[in-house]
Amino acid sequence: MNNFIKAVESIESENPGLQPLAVLRGLRKAAGIDTPFIQHYLGPLTDKESLVIKSPLNEYIPNVLTHQVVQELEEGVVLTEDGTTVALIPLLLGLEAGLKSTSWPRVPGLYPLTLTKNLAVSFLQHFQTQPSSSIHLGPNGCWDDVRNPQVFTLSGVPSLVTEALINGGMDGMILGKHVAKPNKHLKTLSSLLRRYYTHRLNSAGLDAAPVLISRLRRSNFRKLVNFDSLKKQVTKALNIYRRLDKYEKKSNKRNQQMDIDEGLKTFVHRYIDCPAIIPRCMWEAQPYRGTPTLLSLPLSFLYIHHTYEPSQPCLTFEQCSRDMRAMQNFHQNDRGWDDIGYSFVAGSDGYVYEGRGWHWQGAHTKGQNSKGYGVSFIGDYMTSIPSQRTMDLVRNQLAKCATEGGRLVSNFTIHGHRQLVNTSCPGDAFYREIKGWEHFG
């Protein structure tokens, strides 16, 4: 994302005085991104909207904006500083819809251009082909090198709406709604993107952070949508798309609505109920040593830990990833375990990090590993507690994700590590805190 923002800054300097809306339309013009569906909401592009774009950006812009999946490789996506991957075109379409809007609080085209058309088409393709051999959402993927990302490889068979498209769609909806507000003057496109994607947390962490930042994507998205509003928007987008683009996947209205309802239930669970989870490949985990023992779901317990070492909360993807690698190295090479012991780890950067995950038995709570998930918070919490937003990631979001997804029983019990093992974990201050949580026992 940083490279794209720098490219936009360069284009803005080569086209002085051009308003952000004109820059957005010029970027689409340069990439050749224009369809009857887009024109329905944003109008046709004209030759007057061409930008001055010097080499090598005149080749870079079409490549980075054109989204496509070629075999297992996804193009037109970028890695952000927070460790998530974003497709650029739904982001830019949302911003264009917001800047073009004059009917606040309505923003014509915001939902369909960013997300709901893509959801509708993906749902129908999945349910009307062979559901057993396809998926209707995702997948996520892995970069070849997180420090110099060039190639993004999907982690499974792609749907028509990958996780990067969903992330870009959520960002486009959030930022499009923001810039559409009356009297909201946006000086440059690049300044907005830089504020949103590159904000650095201070020692106060997420609790003191501005609301409009990418690592709060899901929190902000939850405020804009619910199941009923999405259902209405998905159905509407599909009908317009069929009419304008002659989409041929037709079904009777009853089956269509059932397909949409089923797809949206999965979408709401995965992207509204659940927190964003950074996969193992993104923090550069070493392989599991041996064969993992599979858990028998649903489990009955959630065990809360602190890492103690690393002792400081991690505030960036880079720092949290480094901490994850250090813990895995300690667990595998010093303790002789097969993998990092925890099921999941909560960073203070706004993300949950995948350890052994939902299905592999952990090594976190001696004698209890088959009965529950072990979730650790990075830091030493003897005298302080994690930020409220960090605790919410686990207490509310991860727990709801687990119960709604059939991984934890609905009446699960939360224990602190010290209740089962002779240890000070999860720290005196943090243990006092979790004693007040729902489900503590």
d(CA 431, CA 441): 12
Same domain, 301 and 350: yes
Which CATH number belongs to the domain containing residue 341 in this structure? 3.40.80.10
Question: 308 and 262 in one domain?
Answer: no
386 and 346 Cβ atoms separated by less than 8 Å: yes
- Boundary-marking domain end, from 233, 257, 273: 273
- Torsion, Cα 256 258 261 266, to 10 degrees, reads -110
Total count of domains within the chain: 2
- The tens digit of pLDDT for each residue in 120-172 reads 999 988 877 766 666 889 999 999 999 999 999 999 999 999 999 999 999 99
Q: Token pair 């870079």 is at which residue?
A: 60
Same domain membership, residue 95 and residue 13: yes
Stated pTM of the model: 0.96
pLDDT higher than threshold 80 for residue 60? yes
Q: Residue 203 has what pLDDT?
A: 87
- Let me know whether 263 and 224 are in one domain: yes
Average pLDDT value for the chain: 96
Domain membership of residue 441 (yes or no) is: no
Residue range(s) defining the domain that contains residue 211:
2-273
Residue 263 lies in a domain: yes
Domain boundary at 231, 255, 273, which?
A: 273
Lookup result for tokens 């405020």:
223
Domain co-membership, 269 together with 285? no
How far, in whole angstroms, is CA 49 from its chain's centroid? 32
In terms of domains, do 226 and 175 share one? yes
pLDDT of residue 257: 86
Count CB atoms within 10 A of the CB of residue 111. Answer: 26
On whether the CB atoms of residues 355 and 327 are closer than 8 A, the answer is: no
Please say whether the beta carbons of 149 and 158 come within 8 A.
no
Q: Could you give the 3-state DSSP secondary structure of residue 221?
A: helix
Please determine, for residue 247, whether its predicted confidence score (pLDDT) is greater than 80.
no
- Among 254, 273, 292, where does a domain finish? 273
What average pLDDT does this structure show over 316-337? 98
Does residue 266 sit in the same domain as residue 297?
no
Segment 238-243 shows an average pLDDT of: 91
The burial of 9, by beta-carbon neighbours within 10 Å (0-12 exposed, 13-18 middle, 19 or more buried), is given as: middle
**Single-letter code of the amino acid located at 431:** Y
The secondary structure of residue 69, as a DSSP letter, is E
Instruction: Note the pLDDT tens digit of each residue in 297-320.
Output: 999 999 999 999 999 999 999 999
In a domain, 439, yes or no: no
Residues 6+ apart with CB under 8 A from 419: none
